[in-house]
Amino acid sequence: MLFAPLAGAQPRDPAFEPLARAYDSLRAREYDAAIAAFRKAVEASPERADIRKDLAYTYLKIGENELARDQLRQALRLTPGDTPLALDYAFLCYETKEPVEARRIFDRLRRTGNPLAEQAFQNIDAPVAAGIERWRKAIELGADHFSDHFELATLAEQRDELDLAAEHYEKAWRILPDRRSVLVALGRVWRQLHRLDDANAALLAASRGGEPRAAEMARELLPDRYPFVPEFRAALQLDPANIDLRRELGFLLLRMDQPLEAENEFRTIADTAPEDLLSATQLAFLLYARGDAAGAQPLFDRVLAGNDEELANRVRAVLRLQQTLGAAPDPRPPVVDAKLMAERSIRAGFMKDAARYLLIAHEAEPGDFTVMLQLGWSYNILRQDAEAARWFDRARHSPDPRIASEARRAWRNLRAGAARVRTTAWFFPIFSTRWHDLFSYSQIKTDLRTGLPFRPYASLRFIGDTRRTIAGPVSPQYLSESSLILGVGIATASWHGLMGWAEAGSAMNYLTGHKLPDYRAGASFARSWGATLASERPGLFAAATADAVFLSRFGNDSLVYSQTRAGYTAGSALRVQFYWNLNLTLDSKRQRWANFIEVGPGIRFRAPMLPPSMFITVDLLSGAYLIRDLTQPLRFRDLRLGVWYAFTR
């Protein structure tokens, strides 16, 4: 009888504990913590649709609409009859640029008599149908440009008129065969039509040569294996001018010990693309190996007259001619092949393959600094920054000033993030006509990388002014604390421009010598959009910063201040930004000096002779206090000139 209660006991829900934490965090509006706990719950119970729905709606609270959509998709897969869920998912698909999926869901739901789905379907379908009819009539009247067929195909795909979409995607691609992204779209539509062989041919052709982004999209849709010879041939039948595809097939046939078939492929390339010296060299070697020296000689002459000395030396080695540049005869191909394969991989977007080939090239020629630099960029694109920094470090010692300079800049940029100990410093002196004073703000901070999403640090701040003022009613303390502040703290990693920090230390007023404990903490947000000062091209831009700071030394006050700029970036050597300011400052104690708004034009520029992280600002601001005081003016004007400089070591 003692074991009777256990016989009917149910196993504990594995998602109970993370769900409890998630809902506690939601009630406290700690959305990041809630998301982390919900994800743990999903891992524990992946078939529970309710957990995925709650995770999705939490993602929506922080603006991660695409992540929310993906979770709702999984929840709908688990509970396909949940109509409210299907509606939410469809609306979210439309908002996240998946109109085809949204239309399909609304179409299915409207057939059950759902009026909301009917209205949403008509809102999506009607303009698409009208667009299809408009482009159809234009083509019937003689329009036969790329854009005519491409626009019609795009709209037809959105409306699930797949045969029409495939027809006009193919026509658009035939007009502009360099647009490999259209070939990807054609392959995608053919897959939906269950024309799998045709789809794989189109995607394989798009994945070799042409646009790197199109090649990447095509690889995502291709089977997760290396293509077979018949698939290469089908792709070439669709795209016979694809030299990269045909060359790869030739080398594949060689590896399969089919030299005669490989010879036919290389001969086609040699006839249609005489500038492809690698294919010409390989064809010449094949002819020479089977005794056709006369047929090989014109190809050898073409390579010897070309601008590729490495290939030419391989030919000289086979013909037993003297090498150029003092190079010893070496018929082995690994260095040449590895470099060329790496270059083709980079052009096609195969960065993992590029890194592998570059490592082979480095093993064969350890002193080639160009290879080291390319390895650095390859690993940087692969987001392996520690490895990238190691190769940039090697390349910066190149005797070639161009390579050394490029590698040095990249190494410094990466070293700051990868270094275990990092020191940053910034200085921002400002002259204000409103206060007729020069204020200076600066900080030097050294932090430690822990491998966790936060860094401990030690900091020295300076806040002062040239008039050596002490805080008072006329020169408020938020402008000049006249202090040196030494502290230690901890800062989180940045997430979508948002970070938090907390610090404890001691502040010494350098005018009076008084020392006081100083505890401060805050959250900081910074984002920019468009053409920044560091951008290569001019254009519109916007930038926003917001800080919430708690300061123990000023009566445990909390301040919130934000700065927003929007305008235009111009110039090339002299980069200039013209913008409009909107600044807002508030505090929790409702002190008049800490509650005001400012607007006005500004200009910020960076001269060629200045360091990249230094710029000069000029702002003409009109402000107003948000708390009235009849003894003080409500409005003010201020011309501010500042110099910003920062660096990291």
Written as one string, the DSSP assignment of 295-322 is: HHHHHHHHHHTSS-HHHHHHHHHHHTPP
Q: How far is CA 195 from CA 104, 182, 220, 238, 464, in A?
A: 21, 17, 18, 14, 73
Residue 478 in this model has a pLDDT that exceeds 70: no
Res. 330 pLDDT band, cuts 50 70 90: very low
Q: Alpha-carbon distance 156 to 136, whole Å?
A: 10
Mean pLDDT of 256-268: 87
How high is the pLDDT of residue 6?
37
Percent of the chain surpassing pLDDT 90 = 24
Q: Which is more confidently placed, 586 or 4?
A: 586
Q: Which is more confidently placed, 533 or 178?
A: 178
Cross-strand pairs, 640: 432, 619
Instruction: Give the length of the chain.
Output: 649
Secondary element (H or E) of residue 595: none
pLDDT tens track for 166-224: 999 999 989 988 888 899 999 999 999 999 999 999 999 988 877 777 887 888 888 87
pLDDT tens track for 19-65: 888 888 888 888 888 898 898 888 888 888 899 999 999 988 888 88
Residue 91 in this model has a pLDDT that exceeds 60: yes
Would residue 597 be called left, alpha or beta, if left means φ above 0 and alpha means ψ between -120 and 50 degrees? Answer: beta
CATH 1.25.40 describes domain 421-648: no
Q: What is the pTM of this model?
A: 0.47
Mean pLDDT of the chain: 83
Residue 523 in this model has a pLDDT that exceeds 70: yes
**What b/e sequence results for 232-270 when a residue is b if at least 16 CB atoms lie within 10 Å of its CB, and e otherwise?**
bebbbebbeebbbbbbbbbbbbbeeeebeebbebbbbbb
How high is the pLDDT of residue 327?
44
pLDDT tens track for 12-31: 567 788 888 888 888 888 88
Residue 393 in this model has a pLDDT that exceeds 60: yes
CB atoms within 10 A of CB 280: 26
Cross-strand pairs, 617: 604, 642
Mean pLDDT of 118-141: 90
How high is the pLDDT of residue 295?
87
Query: Per-domain residue ranges for the chain?
Result: 335-418, 421-648
How high is the pLDDT of residue 335?
38
How high is the pLDDT of residue 325?
53
Percent of the chain surpassing pLDDT 70 = 88
Q: Alpha-carbon distance 269 to 251, whole Å?
A: 13
For CA atoms 88, 67, 162, 159, give the dihedral sign: positive
pLDDT tens track for 555-585: 788 999 999 999 998 876 678 999 999 999 9
Q: Which is more confidently placed, 454 or 115?
A: 115
Q: Which is more confidently placed, 359 or 10?
A: 359
CATH class of 335-418: mainly alpha
How high is the pLDDT of residue 328?
43
**What b/e sequence results for 45-83 when a residue is b if at least 16 CB atoms lie within 10 Å of its CB, and e otherwise?**
beebbebbbbbbebbbebebbebbbbbbbbbbeeeeebe
pLDDT tens track for 492-516: 877 777 889 999 999 888 777 778 8
Written as one string, the DSSP assignment of 330-392 is: ----HHHHHHHHHHHHHHHT-HHHHHHHHHHHHHH-TT-HHHHHHHHHHHHHTT-HHHHHHHH
150: tokens are: 């491409």
